[in-house]
């Protein structure tokens, strides 16, 4: 696996309401729970949606697996680092 060299923040996406990446382009995401206010949500791929809240009252990091056809969406000012399969 390879770690993306840059953080991704929802507010910096330029994509409107949220930024997103889809598996298998990425296989994991590390969510900085103490980043800006918002949330990170995994949807699709035949899995139940899963959300991680972020903001000044949250602490730590959470690592989530991103499966094929699952999309990771970043809302608000949440910050993540994506992990990609080795090319």
Predicted pLDDT of residue 8? 84
| Domains identified in the chain, total number | 1
Q: What is the pLDDT of residues 8-58, one digit of tens each?
A: 888 655 555 567 888 888 999 999 999 999 999 999 999 999 999 999 999
Contact 64, 31 (CB under 8 A): yes
- In the chain, the largest separation of any two C-alpha atoms, in whole Å, equals 37
User: Distance between CA atoms of 81 and 28, rounded to whole angstroms?
Assistant: 9
CATH number for 21: 2.60.120
Predicted pLDDT of residue 44? 94
User: Distance between CA atoms of 30 and 41, rounded to whole angstroms?
Assistant: 12
Of residues 7 and 77, more confidently modeled: 77
Q: What is the pLDDT of residues 57-86, one digit of tens each?
A: 999 999 999 999 999 999 989 999 999 988
Strands (E) located in 1-87? 2-3, 8-9, 18-22, 28-32, 38-44, 50-54, 61-65, 70-76, 79-84
Q: What is the pTM of this model?
A: 0.86
Domain carrying residue 58: 2-84
């Amino acid at each position: 696996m390879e770690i993306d060299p840059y953080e991704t923040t929802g507010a910096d996406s330029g994509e409107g309401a949220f930024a997103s990446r889809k598996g298998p382009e990425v296989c994991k995401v590390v969510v900085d729970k103490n980043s800006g206010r918002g949330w990170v949500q995994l949807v699709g791929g035949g899995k139940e949606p899963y959300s991680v809240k972020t903001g000044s009252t949250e602490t730590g990091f959470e690592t989530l697996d991103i499966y094929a056809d699952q999309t990771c969406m970043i809302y608000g000012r949440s910050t993540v680092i994506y992990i990609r399969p080795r090319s």
